[in-house]
Chain A
C-alpha cells in the first residue's frame, strides 16, 4: 500500500512536488524512480531485515517503499541511535542489507540467511526504534497495517502540504510521512535551524503541521505573530509531550482558523487518542470506557495505562522483556481534576527508594550549589534491595578535582537532605547525558 501509493502519486501528480527538503524538490516521478532503483538492488529473500539509514527524507521514503515492494521488512535506523545501530546489525544475523544515502550495501546475501525463527517479524512487519528518552532505544515490531490505521483520508486532508518536524526515522515521523504519501500530499521537511522555521512555514505554504509542544513554543517565541498568522495552517497537531493550556491558548489565538489537536502516542503503543476541544488533558469519561477500541485506565499509583489494538506486536529482540499483558504502563502520571484528566509528569522522574519518593530536581539543586559543580543530573538506579536508589552524574568546573568534589557533594547532601535522597553513586562526566537537546532523567 505504501509503495503502491507512490506509484499512484506518480501517475496522478507526476512532476508535482512530493517532497521539499532543504530547498530541493523531489517530484513524484523522481520518488517512484528512486523506489524502483532501490527495489532493483534488493535481493528478495525470506525473513530478511533491511536497515534504512538514509538521512535524506526522499531517499528514506523511497527505501521504505522499495523494501515493502520486495516483501522485506524495513528497520529504520536513525543516526541518533548510532551505538544501538552497530550492536543491532552485529547481533541480528537477519540484516540482509543497509540502505544509506549513497548505496544499498549487502550485509548477508539472501541464501546465507538462517532458517526462519519465531523472532522473525511478520510479512507485513516494520521495525522502528523507540526514541530512548528513557533507557536505551529498543527495536519495536509493528505492522504497516496498524501504523497506517490512523491515517485520515477524507477530502479535507487530501493533496495538502505537510510539515515534517519530527525525525523521519521515528514513529512520529513515520506517521506524518504515511499521512502525506497516502493522501497524495507534499512533505515539507522542517528546517534544522529553528530561527528559520517561521519563515519556512509561511514560504512553503504549510497547511498541516504536527510537532512537539517544545517545537510550537519555539515557533511562537521566535516569530512575530503577525507573520505567523499569514501561514495557511489548517491543522496543528501536538504530540510527544504533554500539551499545556497556555500553549494551546496561544496557538488558538495566533491561528484562529486552524484546527488544533493534541495526540497521545508512543512508539510502543501507536496512536492512542487525540483531543480536539482545545483543552489540556483529556475528558475523564474516557477512562474505563469499554465502548472505544483504545481503553484507558489509571493505576492505583496514578499512572496512565492503555490497552490498544494499535500497539506494537512486540520488541524485536528476545532479550528485551516481551510484555504480553494487554495493559501497557505508559510511565505518565495523571491526575483526575473534575471531569478532566491532566498529565502530571513522567513516572521515571520520581525515584522510589524503598517506598520513599525522591524528586530528582531537589537533589540536583543541592549538588549544583556545591562550589566547582557546573551541572548535575539525578536519576534512579535499580537496586535489588531498595527498589531504586539515587544516582548522580556531575559535570565539574575545570579547576575542581574529583575526590574533593565528591566529599563536598556528599557533605552538602547529608546536611540538606534526608538519608534516602543521598546519591548512592556519583559519576563525574565531561558532559551530561542529553537526548535531542533535553536532559534525560530516566534510569
Chain B
C-alpha cells in the first residue's frame, strides 16, 4: 500500500464514520480539525482506527499515543506506521 492509498483510505473511512453517525459532510481536507470541523469525538476516532485496522492490519496507536488534532496528523500516523512495519 502506498502513502497516497493509505491517505485516501483514511479520508474515506472518516467520511463513512461521519455518515454512519447520521450526519452529512461534503468534503474532508487534510487541515480539517477532527473535533471542531468534522465533529469526530474520541469514540468516533476509535471507530475509524478499528476499521482501518480491519482494512489494512495497521494500527499506529498500539505502540504510541500521538496527539492527533487534524486529518493530516492521522494520515501521517498511518503513513509512518506503513514505513515501520
Contacts and interface: CB of A to CB of B under 8 A. Distances in A.
A293 to B, nearest CB: 39
B20 interface: yes
Interface residues of B, dominant DSSP: helix
A411 B45 contact: no
Contacts of B59: 384
A386 B46 CA distance: 6
B51 A385 contact: no
A389 B47 contact: yes
A414 B21 contact: yes
Contacts of A414: 21-22
Interface string B19-56: 01110000000000000000000110111011101100
A257 to B, nearest CB: 55
B7 to A, nearest CB: 20
Contact of B20 (A354, A385, A410, A420): A410
A385 B77 CA distance: 14
Given A384-B61, A385-B61, A354 B46 contact: yes
A414 B59 CA distance: 27
Contacts of A354: 42-43, 46
B50 A383 contact: yes
A385 B48 CA distance: 10
B57 to A, nearest CB: 13
Contacts of A411: 22
A156 interface: no
Contacts of B21: 414
A313 interface: no
Contacts of A381: 50
B30 to A, nearest CB: 21
Given A384-B59, A384-B61, A424 B46 contact: yes
B46 to A, nearest CB: 4
Contacts of B54: 425
Contact of B42 (A385, A410, A425): A385
Given A384-B59, A384-B61, A424 B22 contact: no
A383 B46 contact: yes
A386 B59 CA distance: 13
B49 A353 contact: no
A425 B50 contact: yes
A414 to B, nearest CB: 6
Contacts of A318: none
Contacts of B42: 354, 385-386
A389 B22 contact: no
A380 to B, nearest CB: 11
Interface centre among A384, A386, A389, A425 (most CB of B within 10 A): A384
A438 interface: no
Contacts of A410: 20, 22
B84 to A, nearest CB: 15
A290 interface: no
A203 interface: no
A384 B51 CA distance: 12
A389 B20 contact: no
A99 B27 CA distance: 61
Interface string A383-426: 11110010000000000000000000011001000011010110
Contacts of A385: 42, 45-46, 49, 61
A353 B47 CA distance: 11
B51 A424 contact: yes
Contacts of B61: 384-385
B39 to A, nearest CB: 12
A425 B43 contact: no
Contacts of A424: 46-47, 50-51
Contacts of A383: 46, 49-50
Contacts of A422: 20
Nearest to B62: A384
13 contacts: A381-B50, A383-B46, A384-B53, A384-B61, A385-B42, A385-B45, A385-B46, A410-B20, A419-B43, A420-B43, A424-B46, A424-B47, A425-B51
Interface of A: 353-354, 381, 383-386, 389, 410-411, 414, 419-420, 422, 424-425
Given A385-B45, A419-B43, 14 more contacts: A354-B42, A354-B43, A354-B46, A383-B46, A384-B49, A384-B53, A385-B61, A386-B42, A389-B46, A411-B22, A414-B21, A414-B22, A425-B50, A425-B51
7 smallest CB-CB distances across A and B, nearest first, come from: A386-B46, A385-B46, A384-B61, A424-B47, A384-B62, A383-B46, A383-B50
